[in-house]
Amino acid sequence: MAQTPAKIPAALNFIDVDLGVTGMTCTSCSARVERKLNKLDGVEATVNYATESAQVSYDPSKVSPEQLIKTVEDTGYGAFTMASAAAESEEDNAPADSGQSRIDAARDHEAADLKHRVIVSALLSVPVVLVSMIPALQFNNWQWAVLTLVTPIFFWGGSPFHKATWANLKHGSFTMDTLVSLGTSAAYLWSLWALFIGNAGHPGMKMEMHLLPSTSTMDEIYLETVAVVITFLLLGRWFETKAKGQSSEALRKLLDMGAKDAVVLRDGAEVRVPVNQLKLGDVFITRPGEKIATDGEVVEGSSAVDESMLTGESIPVEVTKGSKVTGATLNTSGRLMVKVTRIGADTTLSQMAKLVTDAQSKKAPVQRLVDQISQVFVPVVIVIAIATLIAHLVFTDAGLAPAFTAAVAVLIIACPCALGLATPTALLVGTGRGAQLGLLIKGPEILESTKKVDTIVLDKTGTVTTGTMSVTDVTAINYSETEILEFAAAVESASEHPIAQAIAKATDHEQVTDFQNTAGQGVTGVVRGHEVRVGRPSSTLIDALLHPFQHAQKIGGTPVVVTIDGVDSGIITVRDTVKDTSAEAIRGLKELGLTPILLTGDNEGAAKSVAAEVGIDQVIANVLPHEKVQNVEALQAQGKNVAMVGDGVNDAAALAQADLGLAMGAGTDVAIEASDITLMNNDLRSAVDAIRLSRKTLGTIKGNLFWAFAYNVALIPVAAIGLLNPMLAGIAMAFSSVFVVSNSLRLRGFKARSN
């Protein structure tokens, strides 16, 4: 407790900066960069492998941004400062080499480079494997032709692994890259020895199928192993690069949602200016159908403003003089004059962008299973190889060549050929099957999240409900329900208000005459010779109408009173309705072991009504976007693994913060990009299918990884004893690869429950 007051003043002086980090190939890289940065005095850093960025807080009196960048570069990676979301939003013409653009460009370049290496290596590997594995195809001096084909694969195709190995070794760490580089180098160098010094280079050399290695110690080569391992692992690396983070798209689309310009009153004249030129105190005009330029206060006019971007709710908010409005929300009906109260980074839109950025930066990258295995497996293999060499030299009389043969064989057989296929093939088939079913899964890290989640938070509007207003109930006195609806629809057809349009679409109707709109009260007109008014109650309602009016409000609906010839004659309730499949979806989520929670910006009455209808017991209502993030964080602080399903801009930050984010495909682009899984068919049952498919795909990947390593582990003792035939190793690798692929293909049979 005594240390806390001493730390607070220092923390207040810290400056936050985001760094782009390039060249990371695994989570071990991000952990290494993070350790190096945190060793600096006055620095607190978090490095995210998925987004290729570092979030750094530093004391400017002790360290500078240039020193931070130099530290990352000295560690063996590239780094640069990134422009903040606010800064980028304030500039219409952001520089082409902005931070995020540079990360995207580096990622695209890496993916293109890997794709090129995969294609060339695969084309060269096919004849190498065929000739090496089939004795009938082994023509005179075939081994030299194979060497010619494999050499560019080893040096050029395998360079990403060799470079990563060198970088890791400089820091005393081991990854699977280390084993790949070590194993392929051992195979290549041994083959060179056998070809130039041993007997393998003689014309007419054959590599025939037999159980034990040849009695001659230097007449067999391992070049096909080099080609196959590098090609398969390059393929895996390419898939991995293509699947890396999507955060930049989310931010760009969020910032693009704002208005680009505004009509400002200057010296009594209307002048159109870019939004970034607005100043505090300026008055701008927003007409029906236009986005509100920035946060402000209404000084003249009245209208209904669609705030679904902010709250997620479909029912617009009535605003008049003195009301607060938010930039990027939509003015639906009246003309408004708004005084600017917040600009730039202080606006609600910029704050929401910061929420998304912070949430994604704080999301710890999933530690890959392969990296975990590598930290133990690689050093153990190296120790076994050294022990094998020493044991053969000390305890056998065969000589130096057989001892080296056995040691090299250990390194070669330990290099898992099928590892390059284990994750990407299952991911490719699983995500491909998901795409057929309208489930877009963005990467392997997401699969791990689906296994762990135990709580699912659901937005209401557009997720559990349809997200569109419709007439749900009509109460009538003196007239029939049909007549009341027809009278109201006729009058409301002349109004632009969203609630009016919902009523107008509910039935066929006649034309209205003498239409008038009274701001904040309702509309009037003449229909069939009757004067009809639709809107708020003008007086105390009689009991026959008061009860349905209050009930509508209680369940979250919007009741309007229909008055005919001065007599209150009916109540029409407009409400966002629950999707037909939502209750079934909630049952499915519970069957998967998830606890559903309804999290909404709507009022508590509406939220509880919807929750009761679909079978959700826990409700959190009246929350704003930043409060949605806080609620997700609170659940995570309780030790829960949280999934989030949403569809709106207001859900984006919470989707990014959640351990697993699922966006409805009919929702906003921002929500989709900030999420991990997109549900394209807009059916909540597809969330159940997405989690089922993801868990099944993850199980397949783990099974593949087991078989990718199983044969290696089983044959290491055989190689150590000196009984490993290279042909046997090749067959084992081929079998392992075939098994991995066939196991992955079983995912094509996955059946969705939502179809």
Nearest one of 430, 441, 423, 424 to 748, comparing CA atoms: 430
d(C-alpha 133, C-alpha 730), whole Å: 8
Q: Are the CB atoms for 414 and 184 separated by under 8 Å?
A: no
- Among 459, 568, 659, 689, the one annotated catalytic: 459
DSSP of 593-632: T-EEEEE-SS-HHHHHHHHHHHT--EEE-S--HHHHHHHH
Nearest one of 523, 521, 522, 568 to 541, comparing CA atoms: 568
Half-sphere exposure of 244 (CA within 13 A, CB side): 27
Q: What are 304's strand-pairing partners?
A: 318
* Amino acid (1-letter code) at residue 37: L
Q: Are the CB atoms for 127 and 138 separated by under 8 Å?
A: no
DSSP of 484-501: HHHHHHHHHTT---HHHH
d(C-alpha 129, C-alpha 229), whole Å: 11
Q: Which residues contact 193 (CB under 8 A, 6 or more apart)?
A: 218
- What stretch of H or E contains 330? strand 330-331
177 is catalytic: no
Q: Are the CB atoms for 50 and 245 separated by under 8 Å?
A: yes
Q: How buried is 480 (Cβ within 10 angstroms: 0-12 exposed, 13-18 middle, 19+ buried)?
A: exposed
* Amino acid (1-letter code) at residue 282: D
For residue 305, report the phi and psi dihedrals to the nearest 5 degrees. Answer: -110, 125
DSSP of 657-721: HSSEEEEETTS-HHHHHHSSEEETT--THHHHHHHHHHHHHHHHHHHHHHHHHHHHHHHHHHHHH
Q: Are the CB atoms for 672 and 665 separated by under 8 Å?
A: yes
Q: How buried is 268 (Cβ within 10 angstroms: 0-12 exposed, 13-18 middle, 19+ buried)?
A: exposed
677 CA to centre of own chain: 7
- End-to-end alpha carbon distance in the chain: 57
Token duo for residue 608 = 């509880």
* Rg, C-alpha atoms of the chain: 33
d(C-alpha 326, C-alpha 347), whole Å: 8
Nearest one of 55, 48, 50 to 15, comparing CA atoms: 55
Which residues are known to be catalytic?
A: 459
